[in-house]
Chain A
Amino acid sequence: MSAIEGIARTNYAYLDEQTKRMIRRAILKAIAIPGYQVPFASREMPMPYGWGTGGVQVTAAIIGPQDRLKVIDQGADDTTNAVSIRAFFEKVAQVTVTTHTREATIIQTRHRIPEAPLGEGQVLVYQVPIPEPLRFLEPRETETRMMHALEEYGLMHVKLYEDIARNGHIATTYAYPVQVAGRYVMDPSPIPKFDNPKMDRSPALQLFGAGREKRIYAVPPFTEVKSLDFEDHPFTIQHFDKPCALCGSTHSYLDEVVLDDRGGRMFVCSDTDFCEERREAGHVGELGVPA
C-alpha cells in the first residue's frame, strides 16, 4: 500500500483489485444470462445499505480514469445521494463527473432512466433494493430460485390479476416486472413503469447491483425487455394531464411539487438535466422564466 504524506491511501476506485475482479466475473456472467440474478460477495461500503451499495460496487468495478460519470437519484443530479456518490468517485477514482446524460459514459441511477435516449457505449448502473421480483409472492429464496430455473412464472400474473381484481386496472406503477429476452422475469428496480419501454432494445448496457441482497444482474444492449400484462389489460405507461411547469415538456416523467399549504402545486420534470437542456434551448413552461 502506498502512502502519501503519511496517510494510507485506498486502492483505485476504493475496492481492492481482487474484489473488483470478483465483481467483474459476476457482471460477465450476468451479461451472458440476461435477467438472471448472479450472487456475488457484496462488500461493506462506506455508506448504509439502501443508499446504493450495490450500484457503487458495480460502478467501482467497471470505472476507469477515462470515464465520465453521472449519478442521478430519482432523476435529479443535485440530491444528497447523487451528490455524495459523485463526490466519492471523484475522490477515489479521479474521474471526471458530469450532469449531462449525453456526455456520460457511466450513469449510476436510483429509480429512474434518463429521458435523453442512451447510446452505444454507455453503461447504466441501477441501484436495486430487492432484486427478486417474486419475493413478496413467495418468501422462500430456495423456492423462487427453483421457479426461475424452471421458468414457472404463473405467480407473477397472480399478482397482476390481484391488481385488476382490486383496482380495475394494473395498479403496479413502479418496479413493474419485466421478462428479459423471453426467459427470465426481472425486477427493473423501483423505476416508474413510465421508464420500462426505455429498457427494451436499449443500445446501452444496463447493470443492476443489489448490495444488501448480494445479487448482480444485467440486460445486454439491444435485448428485448417485455413488461408483463394480460391480453385484455395491456401494459400502459403513466400519462400526465399537464406539461412540465418549467420547460413545457409533454413527454417526460413529472414530479409533483407542493408549493404552499393552500393546495398550490406544480409538476416538473423529474430528470433535472433534461429539463435544463430544454430550457436552455428556449422552451418555457407556464411557471418558468426564459433562460
Chain B
Amino acid sequence: MNAEQPLLKVSNLSRFYGGRIGCLDVSFDLWPGEVLAIVGESGSGKTTLLNCVSSRLQAQAGRVEYRMRDGRLRALSDMGEAERRFLMRTDWGFVHQNPADGLRMTVSAGANVGERLMAVGARNYGQIRDTAVDWLERVEINTDRVDDPPRAFSGGMRQRLQIARNLVTAPRLVFMDEPTGGLDVSVQARLLDLLRGLVSDLGLAVILVTHDLAVARLLSHRMMVMKDGRVIEAGLTDRVLDDPREPYTQLLVSSILQV
C-alpha cells in the first residue's frame, strides 16, 4: 500500500432531489489512515454526500474512485453490482447513527459479528465464534453476552457492537454517520476513546459525518464544512476550528457551548 497515493478520489459529485440540491460539485481525496470529518448544520447535505460516496445513493454527476487492494484505482460506477456489494461488506464498513439500522436485532451478538465472515465464505463455527468473542472484547463488551441479541443491549453497547460487526473483515475504509448521536455524554466519551484507539491501531481511513464539532476535533485529521449542499471550507481540523475563515464556519465554531 502506497501512502503517497489517495485511497479514495471524489470528483465533482452532485446529487439533486428534484429541483433541490442534495450536494453540489464536491471533490476531495482521502488518504489511507486519514480521518476526514464532514460537518455542517442539519440539511446541509452531509449525509447525502456520505451516501453518494459510499454508493448507497446514486449520484447524478461526478465520479468516485477507490484504490482496490491490488493498488489499482477503479471508478465505483464501472463496477458491477455484485462487485460493489462485495466491496461494501469486505473492504468497507458503514456505521449508522441508529444501531438498529446496521445490526440484525433478532440474532445474537456473535452472529451479528460473524455475518460478514460467513458472507465471504467462513464455514467453521468454532473459528467464527472465536473471532466474534475476540471482537467483543476489543470493543469492551462482556464476552458472556455473545449469545444475547442486541435488543438486550444498551445504546452504547449496540453502537460498539455495530462497530465490531463492521471491523471484523479488516476494512480499509469506514463510513460513519453520527456514530455518537443519541448517546449520553459519558457513553459518548468512552465510544470516542474506543474509536480513536481502533482507528489508529488498524490504520483505518474514515469519513465521519457529524454536527458535533467536539467529536470532529477529537477524531479527525481533516475537516470539510458544508452549507446548502456545497463545501464552503476545508482544511486541517485544528486550522478550521482555531482559525475559521468563512463567516458561516466562524458562526458554527462560535456557537459551541462553553462549559
Q: Which residue numbers of A lie inside 8 Å of B, CB to CB?
A: 146, 150-152, 154-155, 157-159, 161-162, 164-166, 229-233
Contacts and interface: CB of A to CB of B under 8 A. Distances in A.
B126 A158 contact: no
Nearest to B104: A158
B179 interface: no
A150 B81 CA distance: 8
Given A150-B82, A154-B119, A166-B147, A161 B114 contact: yes
Contacts of B116: 154
Which 9 pairs across A and B sit closest by C-beta, in order of nearness?
Answer: A154-B119, A157-B118, A230-B125, A154-B118, A150-B82, A231-B124, A161-B111, A158-B111, A165-B147
6 contacts: A146-B81, A154-B118, A158-B114, A165-B111, A165-B129, A230-B125
B123 A158 contact: no
A150 B124 contact: no
B119 A152 contact: yes
A162 B107 contact: yes
Interface SS of chain B: helix
A161 B82 contact: no
A166 to B, nearest CB: 7
Nearest to B109: A165
Given A157-B123, A165-B129, A232-B126, A150 B85 contact: yes
Interface residues on B, range: 20 to 34
Contacts of B129: 161, 165
B147 A154 contact: no
A269 B17 CA distance: 64
Contacts of A152: 85, 119
Given A146-B81, A164-B125, A232-B125, 6 more contacts: A150-B82, A151-B82, A154-B118, A157-B118, A165-B110, A230-B125
Contacts of A230: 123-125
B124 A158 contact: no
A233 B125 CA distance: 7
Interface string B51-81: 0000000000000000000000000000001
A154 B125 contact: no
B128 A161 contact: yes
B11 interface: no
Contacts of B188: none
Between B85, B111, B120, the greatest number of chain A beta carbons within 10 A of the residue's beta carbon is seen for B111
Given A154-B120, A158-B118, A232-B125, A165 B82 contact: no
